Amino acid sequence: MSIIEVNSTALTTGLMGILNAPDMVPGASASYQLCKDIWALHPLGAKIVEKPVALALGQKRKINVPCAAEEQLVKAYWQEWKKLQATRYIRDLAHVSRAYGVGALVYGSPTYPTDVPIPLDDLYKVEDLYINIFDPLNLSGSMVTNQNPNAPDFQKSFMDITAAGQPYHKSRSVVLFNGTPIYLDYQSSSFSFSGRSVFLRALYPLKSFIRTMIVNDMVATKAGLLIAKIKQAGSVINRMMEKVGSWKRSLLQEAQTNNVLQIDPEEAIESINLQNLEGPLTVSRDNIISDCAAASDVPAILLKDESFAKGLASGDQDMMAVVQYIDAIREELEPAHEFFDRLVMHRAWNPEFYAALQKEIPELEGKSYSDWFYEVKALFVSEWPTLIQEPKSEITKRNADKLKSMVEVLKALLAELDPENKARMVDWFVQAINDMPEMFSGTMTFDPEALANYTPPTPAAPGAEPEEPDEEEGGEDGNAQ
């Protein structure tokens, strides 16, 4: 007769609390504590919050400041960016915003009160600059956006935030919502009418995923169980027969590779049959993960950790969807990057840096620091590298075809153009060549003005006598002819 034993030990961990929550039904609200538990403890929680951000920030932006001092400006910029650990703080801000629905980033200094702005021109002098990340509990409910439709700040975060009762000037903070605030839709995860937690729609499948973990543990526990079909000596089991049975079981337990175990022909030893679990358990787990992906904004391929076998350049629809998704994450993080760009530029390109630059570049002499700074700030351009990384062989092949087409265009048009337009076309060709570092290691230089003013020598007519050398020219022996 089978016996079922119930383990009455109460597990009070966060995950078991989610599993045993009777009110965890489809459409249930996500509290601040629940979002924290899922993010910190659930196996999929960190993936949903952190993995998209890691992919979005995994590549370094390309910075350009097209001017004579571009190399020095870009180098100083990245040194200050690294010093402030800007990428780390933007990453943490994105994590908090996705987990709870809203997050805030502030900078400050013990020298300045938090409710007054720090002059940007004095930022480079602040040696004790600090940067903090606030979650909804730190913000003390100061993110409850205005619900008056006629107000200028209707459902906007443009306000002075408060952290633990201490206000921060709006020029020193940046607030990031996850999703668009819905009118009169109060979010308990953020204690405000603001963005929503990325876990909100996925609570029920996240709860179901915990059950698959328990089943996996049970299967792993029972997988090594052996079933011994031992022949009974008689209908009456006495103490001696119990000892014989126990002795046989101990032999079976101790047996291992290179041992010989003898059993009766009527007896059998086999492992527990778990074959019927594989199909339903795998399908159920995959469907639950797909439900989590559909409920959150994370593609299922990222949650399942499926490898990009063909790479992001394969053109597959799944890969292209992931690329578009990561680009959207970068777009959402643009306010945080602009916030740090302003800090880094004022701290890196300071008056002391400009004074040293004037010694290297004479053209800067006589220009005020303020005029120069806002000129280069206007020239500042940042660009994310593409996530689609083509193989070098494909890039080389494409560039070779492009180069062949460009040569054909030159052959067809150069003979018909005037010197000025001919110089422009050759300049276009040279720039295109320099944009192919995979094919040409060196950089080609070209002077369009010199080509436009160049007059080629008139070729001699057929049968004409060669021109006599000038009398001033020296012969082979160096004497005048």
pLDDT tens, residue by residue, 58-95:
999 999 998 888 889 999 999 999 999 999 999 999 99
pLDDT value at residue 5: 43
Higher pLDDT, 378 or 397: 378
Q: Is the pLDDT of residue 2 over 50?
A: no
Q: Which among 55, 90, 94 has a CA at the least distance from the CA of 303?
A: 55
pLDDT value at residue 241: 61
Q: Is the pLDDT of residue 107 over 80?
A: yes
Most confident of 72-86, 139-153, 284-298: 72-86
DSSP letters for 45-78? HHHHHHHHHHHHSSSPPEEE--STTHHHHHHHHH
**CA-based torsion, 315, 319, 321, 325: positive or negative:** negative
The mean pLDDT value for 49-53 works out to: 93
Amino acid at residue number 277: L
Q: Which among 14, 16, 10, 13 has a CA at the least distance from the CA of 39?
A: 14
pLDDT value at residue 426: 83
Most confident of 4-13, 20-29, 199-208, 214-223: 199-208
Residue 148 burial class via C-beta count within 10 angstroms: exposed 0-12, middle 13-18, buried 19 and up:
exposed
Q: Over the stretch 224-269, which tens digit does the pLDDT of each residue have? A: 666 666 666 555 555 666 666 666 667 666 666 666 666 667 666 6
Contact 169, 114 (CB under 8 A): yes
Task: Report the alpha-carbon distance of residue 212 to residue 191 in Å, rounded.
Answer: 32
Which neighbouring-strand residues pair with 130?
108
The pLDDT mean for the chain works out to 79
Residue 227 burial class via C-beta count within 10 angstroms: exposed 0-12, middle 13-18, buried 19 and up:
exposed
Q: Is the pLDDT of residue 445 over 50?
A: yes
Q: What is the pLDDT confidence band of residue 7, given thresholds at 50, 70 and 90? A: very low
Q: What is the pLDDT confidence band of residue 22, given thresholds at 50, 70 and 90? A: low
Q: Is the pLDDT of residue 352 over 90?
A: yes
